[in-house]
Structure 1
Amino acid sequence: MVYVISKDGHPLMPTMRYGKVRRMLKSGLAKVISRCPFTIQLLYETTDITQDISLGVDAGSKDIGLSATTNLKVLFEAKVILRNDIVELISTRREHRHARRNRKTRHRKPRFDNRTRHEGWLAPSVRQKAESHITMVQKAHKILPVSHIKVETASFDIQKIKNPNISGTNYQNGEQTDFWNVREYVLWRDGHVCQCCKGKSKDKILNVHHIESRKTGGDSPNNLITLCEYCHKQYHLGKIKLPKTIHRGMSFRDAAFMGITRWAIYEKLKELYSDVNLTYGYITKNTRIENSLPKDHHIDARCISSNPKAESDGTVYFYKKVRCHNRQIHKSTINKGGIRKRNQAPYEVHGFRLYDKVTVNSVEAFVFGRRLDGRFAIRMLDGTKINEQLSYKKIKLLEMRKNYICERRTPLLIGASPDVPVAI
């Protein structure tokens, strides 16, 4: 499907008359403004006759589903992979900042309590994902004359998930009620027994160990386990491994994200567009089951758009939000002689940037890694390796990198199920 923009920049209805599009481009009546999704802009005046288009948005903390439909046809479907490295990057930055200030300004009076947060403040990791939802809706509006938007949101009762029988005033009493701190609760929960050796080491000193790094896992009880001091030291020395039965408990990050951002996303969309409505997951699930549709983000978005029976050709656009710039100038470790190795790669290597879209043997892929000697790592959007040491002379630049890299996928065969895509 070819998306069409009018001469004055307004989106028109897309077309499948590829022959006419080819002739218009050849005769200079239109120009290409985007390769993926393929979009042209007319260079002559035309009427702005459009149809009623509904955009369904399946909001999520890791993936977003989008589907723009009319009563009869699916015009655009996309799945977006969001960034999940913000917490780790900010935690690393905090560690470096703390170490730097400890070295250079250790005599300065602490100034950690002199900052205020404006109304509507969101944590950077949450704000980035919320903004990605808004950006993708705006991208859909640029290529289609969307009439109304419907967003699926969800609210989760985390305490109810932990304890299905909770009710009344018990909501005010968490699992750590009557305990001095988290450490005391974890020791009591584990029966004051090492969960690795079960007391066989005879070491009576108990420590609380982070199953996942504290930097990214935090200090919640489901990330803590009781170990004796002997097992704790041996584990960090790499001499023993924890039993396979020890793993982090259920994480509620995704549920917390949806609870925080559902109104932020809705209110922002209301500011930008006039016709925005909310729906809920149980309605989407019921619609999907009634129409015997497979479970996927873009399929859910189609159900959210209120046109689950709209005909689709199986084309799905996969987007991935990628990092724009590495702000850490030097490596954290100092080489021999006090030399700091740079942590930032050159902006261009042999004329290519990271995440540039290229073609290799008629296959469209992306530059995922570059070496100064000219050997590049070429992969598909989902990480499928094409060639990890391909010479830059054997690839051709198709499109320069953007914040959102895009890949178009269609069914393998005519008549194949739309949920079996292949990248082209």
Structure 2
Amino acid sequence: MSNACVIDSDYKPLNPVHPARARLLLRQGKASVYRIYPFTIILKRVIEQPEVQPLRLKLDPGSKTTGIALVNDATGKVVFAAELAHRGQAIKASLDRRRVVRRSRRQHKTRYRKPRFLNRRRKPGWLPPSLESRLATILTWVVRLCRYAPIAALSMELVKFDVQWIENPGISGIEYQQGILQDYEIREYLLEKWERTCAYCGTRGVPLQIEHIQAQAKDGTNRESNLTLACEPCNRAKGTQDIRVFLAKKPEVLKRILAQVKRPLKDASAVNATRWALYERLKATGMPVECGSGGLTKYNRTKRGLPKTHWLDAACVGQSTPEILAYKETVPLLITATGHGSRQMCRMSRHGFPRTGPKQAKRVRGFQTGDMVKAIVTSGTKRGTYVGKVAVRNNGYFDLSTPKGTIQGIAARFCRTVHRCDGYQYQQGRVLPSLPRKEGLLPLLAHAQGSPQA
């Protein structure tokens, strides 16, 4: 279970507390729920607090998912963890659909938007919208966590792997390049490029060995373009054979491997395009920023015997990683970026004509679709208490999505806002398989009715 964030009556962050301590403060009336995600309580009056211990916010940026971890460097405890799923692919798909509609209009005798690509200038540091969205979501959560936790330093994985370093190991200090990190950098690169499968038989979930496509015994080099991954049986079977001889009866596999060797890493390219922009924006916060590589992250995780997850990768970023990480009671928060809706006024047909009416009011009686509400129904056939996401209707009777199903026709007068729709979906992560499931922060929702929103 993740700790609960605490802010004082002046909205200044204090040391996070155990969920049991948070429940006690809520039960005694000394605090109230300030925010559900991340779970934060606010003290109602000034009380004596121990010295605030600074925390380190660690990030493992990815093209699809970013790992987030709050670590206490002094004790090694992982105070908070989250996995942030980006929506870059959804943005790209939306822009592609819009482009198709606009081009189709220009080919018909209908209203169209004139092309304006010749009178546009891009600002320095411009990034495509799909990449800019990744930076925006990460920075949003950095600022949000700094508001609710005493964060004093940042750590980020600046590079997944250094392609230039792999191509030319002598580019920097020879003692570093031929040290213990060299194998981790190359292996991490190959695992990403070959999708963690055996190149010859496609087996997953088994130990993979680094394989030379052209054997070293036949003048094969150690360049990354000559390396792949293979399981032990395939590696032994190939031996020093030429790959065309070894795969003579599998022409499809041979064609795929030769194409894969030259294929660029799309996800890695997205990360490489945004890594320095993210670094500069993190530096603008005024806090010290520590950088690390993917090879170092994997080395730290392997040395400590930790399972492979995004949030544990984030906890292992950088040289500042404590020797012992206390993570067994931490349950990550799964965050999915959904956006704030569309600016499109109506839906279009495949021919570019409107097929729906204009947008209705976004808020109905103070509620918006996506808000988490607590409905206490005191009369009627739906009598009871429900907590879930609301879908608003103009008639004032809403649909409520709960873990047990969708409840239709809940009147607005029975609903109270628990968490405003902020462009993200939240889900409690699972406990690691080796750990027993324990009571977490979910019971604290009982105190959330009428809570103020940040």
Residues 73 and 312 in structure 1, CA contact (< 8 A), matched pair in contact too: no
Q: CA deviation at 1:94?
A: 2.2
Change (3 A) 1:130 1:346: same
Change (3 A) 1:74 1:363: farther
> In the alignment, residue 343 of structure 2 is paired with which amino acid?
R
Q: How many residues end up aligned between the 2 structures?
A: 334
Change (3 A) 1:362 1:14: farther
- Which secondary structure state, in structure 2, belongs to the residue aligned with residue 14 of structure 1? strand
2:267 is the alignment partner of 1:254: yes
Candidates 64, 67, 71, aligned match of 2:66: 64
Candidates 326, 331, 336, aligned match of 1:320: 336
Counterpart CA distance in 2 for 1:306 and 1:412 is 21
> In the alignment, residue 387 of structure 1 is paired with which amino acid?
G
Aligned to 1:303: 316
Change (3 A) 1:330 1:142: same
Aligned to 1:282: 295
Q: CA deviation at 1:38?
A: 2.5
Counterpart CA distance in 2 for 1:62 and 1:422 is 27
Aligned to 2:176: none
Candidates 382, 406, 417, aligned match of 2:426: 406
Candidates 243, 260, 263, aligned match of 2:276: 263
Candidates 379, 389, 409, aligned match of 1:366: 389
Q: CA deviation at 1:47?
A: 5.8
Counterpart CA distance in 2 for 1:48 and 1:136 is 26
Structure 1 outlier segments of 4+, above 6 Å: 105-108, 162-167, 360-363, 370-373, 421-424
> In the alignment, residue 92 of structure 1 is paired with which amino acid?
R
Counterpart CA distance in 2 for 1:32 and 1:21 is 10
Q: C-alpha offsets along residues 203-223 of structure 1, whole Å, 9 cap, x if unaligned?
A: xxxxxxxxxxxxxxxxxxx9x
Candidates 351, 365, 378, aligned match of 2:401: 378
Residues 322 and 405 in structure 1, CA contact (< 8 A), matched pair in contact too: yes
Candidates 94, 102, 106, aligned match of 1:97: 102
Q: C-alpha offsets along residues 346-377 of structure 1, whole Å, 9 cap, x if unaligned?
A: 5246875322224698775434x667796747
Counterpart CA distance in 2 for 1:116 and 1:127 is 17
Residues 332 and 428 in structure 2, CA contact (< 8 A), matched pair in contact too: yes
Q: CA deviation at 1:317?
A: 1.6
Q: For structure 1, which runs of at least 5 residues remain unmatched after alignment?
A: 172-221, 223-248, 381-385
Choose 69-78 or 154-163, whichever is displaced more.
154-163
Q: For structure 2, which runs of at least 5 residues remain unmatched after alignment?
A: 168-189, 195-211, 215-219, 226-255, 257-261, 376-383, 444-454
- Which secondary structure state, in structure 2, belongs to the residue aligned with residue 12 of structure 1? strand
Residues 334 and 340 in structure 1, CA contact (< 8 A), matched pair in contact too: no
Residues 347 and 355 in structure 2, CA contact (< 8 A), matched pair in contact too: yes
Counterpart CA distance in 1 for 2:338 and 2:33 is 24
Q: CA deviation at 1:146?
A: 1.3
> In the alignment, residue 267 of structure 2 is paired with which amino acid?
D
Counterpart CA distance in 2 for 1:77 and 1:88 is 30
Matched residues, percent identical? 25
> In the alignment, residue 66 of structure 2 is paired with which amino acid?
I
Q: C-alpha offsets along residues 273-310 of structure 1, whole Å, 9 cap, x if unaligned?
A: 32101111111112212222111111111222613522
Counterpart CA distance in 2 for 1:107 and 1:334 is 16
Counterpart CA distance in 2 for 1:127 and 1:53 is 27
Q: CA deviation at 1:61?
A: 1.2
Aligned to 1:73: 77
Aligned to 2:9: 7
2:154 is the alignment partner of 1:154: no
Residues 411 and 422 in structure 1, CA contact (< 8 A), matched pair in contact too: no
Q: CA deviation at 1:257?
A: 0.7
Residues 155 and 258 in structure 1, CA contact (< 8 A), matched pair in contact too: no
Choose 156-165 or 65-74, whichever is displaced more.
156-165
Counterpart CA distance in 1 for 2:424 and 2:431 is 23
Q: CA deviation at 1:124?
A: 0.6
Aligned to 2:356: 341
